[in-house]
Structure 1
Amino acid sequence: MPIVTLANSLQAACADEGAGTPVLLLHGYCGSRHYWDDVLPLLNAKFRIIAPDCRGHGETQATNGAYPMEQLAEDAVQLLDELGIPKAYVLGHSMGGYTALALAEKYPDRVLGLGLLHSTTFPDDENGKAGRDAAARRIALEGIKGHIDDLVPKLFAPEHRTSMRSKLSRATVIGYGTSPLGAIGGALGMKERPDRRSILEQFHKPVLLLAGEEDGVIAPEKRFPASGPNVTQVLLSGSGHMGMMEAPEAFANAIASFIETSEGRRNDV
């Protein structure tokens, strides 16, 4: 697991496994690269998987202030630069999807294909923004533990909160590893993200939209914000917001199929 010093001096941790077509996996809020532990063995035999800890999460350095999605996107591009990767498939879970959209907006030539995994193009509504502020205040006062204890169960499908207790525990431990600065920065950065539906409307490269049937975080009307010949929509039956843990085989198969199909079309051109 390398620690890479980015051009902006951030010390970033990442997994770099496998060979072939590069795939950048961006984890969600209060997660880390370990969110992908169940799917990495299913993907790294086919692709080169780059899975960083984002700023303030996991083992990547935390900084003060809000983390705009544009800043997280810059971190990701600088990581690709340090690893000598000119282009990659950029797939993001939840907050990682918001980051992927910001990256595709500013650096479309770096993106072979775009994936929103349990994510959306829509911004927070006013209630959502108030919730981000409340989370930031609570973490500043109490630390990370209570926030994670309340957050993680909501990420899993109701049935899985009891049937997948070990996975909830693993997600909770990962969450505890988030710096309070990182959790605050991520919450405030997500609060300010803009509506990016136009990015998908103008993006003519392959797009994967993967959603969980029982996702309590992303509302059904926001799960598939685009359609068209370049868009692949996948609904994971029975899954909540954590398909990489709740349904890892189906999750990995959806990603692999999307990339292999996309690469086949590119090679036919």
Structure 2
Amino acid sequence: MAKKFISINENKLAYTDQGSGLPVVLLHGFCGSGAYWDQVVPALSEKYRVIAPDQRGHGDSDAPEDPYTMEAMAEDVAQLLRTLKVEKAVVLGHSLGGYVALAFAERYPKKLKAFGLIHSASFPDDEQGKTNRTKNMNLIREKGLNPFIEGLIPKLFAPEHVESMPDEVEKALKIGKATKRDGAIRTLAGMRARPDRTAVLKGSKVPVLLVAGEKDQIVAPDKTFHVNKPNMHKFLLEEAGHMSMYEAPERLLEAMRLFLDEKVQA
């Protein structure tokens, strides 16, 4: 699927737009890109309009110099939807994308048909998490992006999948290394500064999809599933780590379809 581009404050934002019907926005994780969803989009776009941007600093999008707060990244999504004349959408975010989806839900509740967190959570970084973000920012400044990516990507997969899925790991490494160096540093700063958005999750009126990987070493399932409400629809992927779009794409697709077909469209 060919990339398209829009301009936001003279910076280009890349995205793909495939299919027709209810718009579904897929937001990738940190040091990912819209290509993370390549095994999901073709099947999902048979019934839905699937929009998958490269978030600022990632993939083929530019890396603007302004702060990469979750609110700013949510504004990028809002600007993309305005440009595409999409009034309401489902916004599903993986990891970092989930943080952006929550910021979008807080800021633009009337633009949402539903939203979802995929291997993500509403909590802010704890003190250790903030310290780790700072260390990683310094590592990238001192050593460049590649050593950081080579350390990060294997941790995103369930341990056994690092051995059994070398092609998928290699794809994620390649995508990660295409991230802009300054984009990665600014995104780390934005994630470090993000607020607690548990109140957004608890206060949500629209259907919410929550997907967790049983073997996720980054965001444990109990952190994704900590809010219990009738509009929360939870899926635990037993065979997945943090990267179900690679580790268990058919199961992730099943969760998405069930949610969209039965909870959002119903």
Q: Give me the TM-score of the superposition, normalised by structure 2.
A: 0.97
2:124–2:194: 8 Å Cα contact kept in structure 1? yes
Give per-residue Cα distances to partners, 1:202-261, cap 9 Å, x unaligned: 101100000000000002431212111111000001200000110000101101110111
Could you say what secondary structure the match of 1:226 adopts? coil
- Give the superposition deviation at 1:263: 3.3
Match of 2:112 in 1: 111
Verify the 8 A CA contact 2:34 2:59 in the aligned structure 1.
Answer: yes
Amino acid at match of 2:49: R
- For 1:65 and 1:146, how far apart are their aligned partners in 2? 25
CA distance in 1, matches of 2:159, 2:55: 28
Counterpart amino acid of 2:211? L
Q: CA–CA distance in 2 between the matches of 1:200 and 1:235?
A: 18
Equivalent residue number for residue 14 of structure 1? 15
| CA apart distance, 1:89 | 0.2
4+ runs of 1 displaced by more than 2 Å?
A: 1-10, 262-265
After superposition, the C-alpha distances for 1:140-177 in whole angstroms (9 at most, x for unaligned) are 12211000000000000011010001100000000000
- Structure 1: state its 5+ residue gaps: none
Question: Where in structure 2 are the equivalents of 1:217-232 lying within 5 Å?
Answer: 217-232=218-233
Structure 1 residue matching 2:159: 3-state secondary structure: coil
Partner of 1:234: 235
Corresponding residue number in structure 1 for 2:44: 43
| 1:1-269 correspondence runs (5 A) | 1-64=2-65, 66-265=67-266
Per-residue CA deviation, residues 170-202 of structure 1 (Å, 9 max, x unaligned), is: 000000000001110111100001110000111
The residue type equivalent to 2:123 in the other structure is: F
Structure 2 letter corresponding to 1:248: P
Q: What secondary structure, in the 3-state scheme, does the structure 2 residue paired with 1:73 have?
A: helix
Q: Output the CA distance in 2 between the equivalents of 1:46 and 1:58.
A: 26
8 Å CA contact 1:156, 1:240 repeated in 2? yes
Pairwise CA RMSD: 1.1
CA displacement 1:64-118 (0-9 Å, x = unmatched): 2541000000000000111111110000000000000000001000010010000
Distance 2:242 2:24 in 1: 21
Give yes or no for contact 2:207–2:264 (8 Å, CA) kept in 1.
no
Cα contact 2:157–2:216 (8 A) shared by 1 = yes
Q: TM-score, normalised by structure 1?
A: 0.96
**Distance between the aligned counterparts of 1:257 and 1:182, measured in 2?**
34
How far off is 1:7 after superposition? 4.2
Return closer, same or farther for 1:220/1:249 CA change in 2, 3 Å cut-off.
Answer: closer
Q: Residue 2 of structure 1 contacts residue 13 of structure 1 at CA under 8 Å; is this kept in 2?
A: yes
Question: The residue matched to 1:209 in structure 2 has which SS?
Answer: strand
Say whether the 8 Å CA contact 1:66–1:187 is kept in structure 2: no
State the distance in 1 between where 2:8 and 2:29 align. 23
The total of aligned residue pairs comes to 265
Kindly indicate whether the alpha-carbon contact (under 8 Å) linking 1:197 and 1:225 is maintained by their aligned counterparts in 2: no
Q: Distance in 2 between matches of 1:253 and 1:50?
A: 18
Q: Is the 8 A contact 1:65 1:181 kept in 2?
A: no
